[in-house]
Structure formats: structure tokens, C-alpha cells
Structure 1
């Protein structure tokens, strides 16, 4: 299954922040939406990085309390590892495993179109396997 197939049924908006937002503002977005990461985009919709819980911890460890007033651009992971909508779920899972990341911005023509987590990809993979198993059971029953 492609990433495009996974995201085509979504109707939720993508939570993003700008590089000039403060770390405190970004933390408020993360906690308010109960999410672990979000893409950081410029005014054109291009992905400049990803801001995650890990970035918060790393920033607090290096800057102390002053980190909360720092711009997200100082704390985000950049450059972001991105994928296109045509990538398969298995390729994306392999990339996440190799790079030790849990979130991928989906980019088409240089602009953010969605944001997928490892949980999204694992769910899609499980759904595919279950559909194949159900088809196999139905085939066996009909024989």
C-alpha cells in the first residue's frame, strides 16, 4: 500500500508550526493536541524540519529554562527526512527503522501534504495482512 492510499481517507488537519515560533508555543501545540511531533513549515508550505518531544528534551538539556524562549528553528531536527506519497508503507517503515525516527512529513512538489507516524504505517500494514488473511479464509471455505 502506498502512503497516498493511507492518507487519502484522512480528514484531520495537519498540526504545524513555524520556525520562528517559540519552543514554549510549540510545546503548547504538542500538548494541546496530544501529539508527539509536528512538521515545521515556512510560509510557502515547505518543510524546514520536524519538532518533537525528543527535541524538547534535548533543547532543555542544553539550554535550560531559556530553551522555552528560543525559536523552534534552534531546537527542531533539520533537515527533515521526508517521503513522497508514492512510497510504499514497507519502504517508509524501513526508512524509519534505519533513521531511528517515528514521524515522516509527506511532501509533494516541495510542499507538505500530510504527516505520518510509525503508528499510522503499522496500522495500515496490519489492516493489509488482516484483509489478506480474510480473503484466504473465504477462499478456503469456498473450495
Structure 2
């Protein structure tokens, strides 16, 4: 016997609406977010130095701009390397008291890991975590178009999760 609150469908009843609270697209949307989406909110400002500048100048710029790394470019703006606070601290341990007069090209990382605006954020996060680096220049057609940090990626992902949680609450509450 059917529960008393149940009423069998009758001829003429409207067809039930089909709803999908979860779709493959909604469940995987965060894995498909690209670097360009992050840069839309962050901006494309990239601070750079020349290889002949001194570490003293770099330290001042890092402090002034409140950043942790600078890209090293030639006179045409082509990427030559990257120099981070971590690079400077390591050299200070190796050459105490002699680091500040050294040139950028002596300390910079030449084999720079880069990404493109079309790369997926989750892939970039994995590369940064596995490679143990925190800054990644963004190149489009060989030209610098931005810089992202692991903090940018994590912050962006947290905002996505907050938004998804809010959407779920709204669905539940109505």
C-alpha cells in the first residue's frame, strides 16, 4: 500500500521537470580555470631588472613593491631569468657580507619555468608544488604578459570554493 501522501500521476499532469543539481561541467569547473582568468583579477604588471643591476638595487625594489621575485630581462624585454628572495638568501649564506654588490646575473635562475594564459591553474599549482618554487612568469607568444605566485593560485582557488559553497547553500535553502 502506498503512503497516504503519495498521489499517482494522472493523465493531464504536467511532465516532471528534469533538474540536474550536479553536472560534469559544474563538478569539474575548477579544474578548467585558466591562468588568464586569474590574471583578469590580478592584473598583468610584471616588475623586471637587468642582469647587470646589483643585488642591493634588487633588494630595494623587492621591499618597495612588496614582492618576492623579479624577472630578469634583456634590453628588448625578453626573459633571461628570475631572481627571488630565496636566491638572495641562499647566496647570503654562501658569501656573508659580500652579496649586495654582486650582480643579478650571478644569482638569477636561468632555467625559468613559465606558463601560458591558456594553462589550467590546477596544472600550474602542481608544477609549482612539485618544483618547489613560488613564482612563475606568464608568456604569450614568447612575450611576458604577467607573473603569478603560488599564493595567487591558492587564493583564487579558495575564492572559487567559497563561491561554490554559497551556490550549494542557496540550492539547499531555495
Asked if 1 retains the 8 angstrom alpha-carbon contact of 2:43 and 2:146, the reply is no
Structure 1 equivalent of residue 88 of structure 2 = 56
**2:139 corresponds to which of 107, 117, 121:** 107
Structure 2 equivalent of residue 28 of structure 1 = 60
Q: Which structure has more helix as a fraction of its residues?
A: 1
Q: d(CA) in 1 for partners of 2:40 and 2:76? A: 22
- Shift of the 11–90 alpha-carbon distance from structure 1 to 2, 3 Å rule, reads closer
Structure 2 equivalent of residue 9 of structure 1 = 41
C-alpha deviation, 1:67, in angstroms: 2.4
* Runs of at least 4 residues off by over 6 Å: none
Asked if 2 retains the 8 angstrom alpha-carbon contact of 1:17 and 1:38, the reply is yes
Moved more, 64-73 or 93-102: 64-73
C-alpha deviation, 1:9, in angstroms: 2.7
Q: Which runs of 5+ in 2 are unaligned?
A: 1-32
Moved more, 23-32 or 10-19: 10-19
Q: Which runs of 5+ in 1 are unaligned?
A: none
C-alpha deviation, 1:106, in angstroms: 0.6
Structure 2 equivalent of residue 76 of structure 1 = 108
Task: State the secondary structure of the residue aligned to 2:138.
Answer: strand
Larger of the two Rg values belongs to structure: 2
- What is the Cα-based RMSD across aligned positions, in Å? 1.5
**2:99 corresponds to which of 61, 67, 80:** 67
C-alpha deviation, 1:12, in angstroms: 6.5
